[in-house]
Structure 1
Amino acid sequence: MVSFAADSSLSQCAIFCAKDSKACMATLSDERTGQCLFFNSTLTGRETDSDDGMVYLERMPDCCYWTGSSRSSADQSSIYKDCQDAFEKGERNSGAVYTLRPNPNWRLIRAVCQFDHESGWTLIQRRLDGSVGFHRGWVEYVDGFGYLDKEYWIGLEAMFYLTRVNQKLSVYLEAHDGESRTANYSSFYIDDAEAGYTNHINGYTGDVEDSWAEQHNGMNFSAFDNDKDLSELNCAEKYKGGWWFSGCGPSNLNGLWIEGGKSSGVRGILWKKWKGYQYSLKVVHLLLGR
């Protein structure tokens, strides 16, 4: 046991634990007292639902998941189906981390929610400063990686469940000089693991030309160790990031973050129909909404 925190909800216990990811591997939330117990190892044999009022959550590498569940109505009040559900129940703290469960039979997801005056959006990917490497293998792209207060990828399995209830996608793009553009899609969802997490994306509007749906719609996801693109090249390996590649362009929002934006080849964070192949964007937000 590491420490206590008074007056804490289930989601707060998870967030406190995640802030010290090296020391905290599991937490018990006491429904009766509102306290958290933190542990530096998992508790073998611990039931996730028990009759003693203690709810067990266990960290999953690396970013955004928790095992365990709760039948408590008090705890469930702070777990939302998605960020739109959080908005409809009165949440307005845009940019904060919320605990989501889009499917009652699946594990908890921790994600950033962004709210405007009429809706909530779930942040599924964020690029900011190059602090997190996106040249990752298949398992990490499935499970998710990164840091919720910095750069992260929520994971393909989480996206599959989230896109069962959220099928709008907003893509925020920002260059190194602060200029920004937005691409919106009225329909976006991905298939399950068996189908290769194929993406289906249509209904473009925005103030930048489409570089996603035209060539990437209907493609399986590729990582450097699971090449599913249509090119003779391994696009994820060559261009240093997993994506729904057909050929090796015209977009790859998981490419290398490059200081200043000048890219050698197509290795950067790419949106070809705005900045071309030789430019790596600075900031990207992928947001799911209803």
Structure 2
Amino acid sequence: FTDCSEGNGIYSGVVDAFIKPTGILNPVKVLCNFDYSVTYIQYRKNGDVNFNRSWSEYENGFGDVNGDFWLGNKYIRALAQQKNYFLGLRQYTSSWSISSYPSLAIDSATNFYALTYGSLISGTDGLSPADTSKEAYGQQFSTYDRDPTGCAKLHGSGWWYNTGCSLSNLNGNFQVTFGSTTGITQTGIGIYT
């Protein structure tokens, strides 16, 4: 498969699988939702993986697709170049907030994997996923060791920060205290056709 959509109708459920996006030499393990043809590029449900990582780690990916992970910017870019994808953002606080955007595009590493996409097509503007995407549009990816805005160091994670150091950041630290929810406790970023 070049993405999880090619397994739709063959497999079902949310499971890990290997895909080989166009231009990538070796298959990469991803989390797929075969029922909805979603290839997850980020998922966080345990809060046990530190997302304050280097440029190289964000480029190549880290974590475990059965827990918390980042697929890797080079894989995300390869995926975005092979088809016209929708970008789906979701987060859980006391309920799920989900937003979807068409026409995902990720620029090259030379241009810091700058992110663009179309206008909101579903979801609720004003919720954090929508706010996140509005602030991330057109921004370059930043990490503590490649941080043109200074925001990755400030927030302790890699993200597409704007010059005002956007407050919405799906890679930021979870705020959970003794099992009671005080902030975001799960996030997922997926692409689908």
Scaled by the length of structure 1, the TM-score of the pair is: 0.60
Q: Which runs of 5+ in 1 are unaligned?
A: 1-79, 262-278
- Residue 104 of structure 1, CA deviation: 5.0
Which among 107, 123, 135 is matched to residue 191 of structure 1? Answer: 107
Q: For residues 103 and 177 of structure 2, what CA distance do their matches in structure 1 show?
A: 33
Q: For residues 196 and 149 of structure 1, what CA distance do their matches in structure 2 show?
A: 28
Given the superposition, is the C-alpha separation of residues 132 and 189 from structure 1 closer, same or farther in structure 2, using an over 3 Å criterion? Answer: same
Given the superposition, is the C-alpha separation of residues 134 and 166 from structure 1 closer, same or farther in structure 2, using an over 3 Å criterion? Answer: farther
Moved over 4 A (4+): none
Q: For residues 107 and 225 of structure 1, what CA distance do their matches in structure 2 show?
A: 27
Q: For residues 212 and 131 of structure 1, what CA distance do their matches in structure 2 show?
A: 22
Q: For residues 13 and 66 of structure 2, what CA distance do their matches in structure 1 show?
A: 13
Root-mean-square deviation (Å):
1.8
2:93 equivalent to 1:172? no
- Residue 208 of structure 1, CA deviation: 4.4
- Residue 166 of structure 1, CA deviation: 4.6
Please tell me whether the aligned partners of residues 24 and 78 of structure 2 are also in contact (alpha carbons under 8 angstroms). Answer: no
Please tell me whether the aligned partners of residues 202 and 213 of structure 1 are also in contact (alpha carbons under 8 angstroms). Answer: no
2:136 equivalent to 1:226? no
Q: For residues 183 and 149 of structure 1, what CA distance do their matches in structure 2 show?
A: 23
Given the superposition, is the C-alpha separation of residues 184 and 105 from structure 1 closer, same or farther in structure 2, using an over 3 Å criterion? Answer: closer
Which among 70, 74, 80 is matched to residue 163 of structure 1? Answer: 80
- In structure 1, give the amino acid aligned to 2:71: I
- Residue 213 of structure 1, CA deviation: 3.5
Task: State, as a whole percentage, how many aligned pairs show the same letter.
Answer: 27
Given the superposition, is the C-alpha separation of residues 155 and 101 from structure 1 closer, same or farther in structure 2, using an over 3 Å criterion? Answer: same
- Structure number with the bigger relative contact order (C-alpha 8 A, sep ≥ 6) is 2
- In structure 1, give the amino acid aligned to 2:27: L
Given the superposition, is the C-alpha separation of residues 144 and 105 from structure 1 closer, same or farther in structure 2, using an over 3 Å criterion? Answer: closer
Which among 86, 90, 99 is matched to residue 7 of structure 2? Answer: 86
- Residue 173 of structure 1, CA deviation: 1.1
2:99 equivalent to 1:99? no
Which is higher, the Rg of structure 1 or of structure 2? 1
- Greater Cα shift, 119-128 or 102-111: 102-111
SS of 2:119's equivalent in the other structure is strand
- Residue 101 of structure 1, CA deviation: 0.9
Please tell me whether the aligned partners of residues 166 and 288 of structure 1 are also in contact (alpha carbons under 8 angstroms). Answer: no
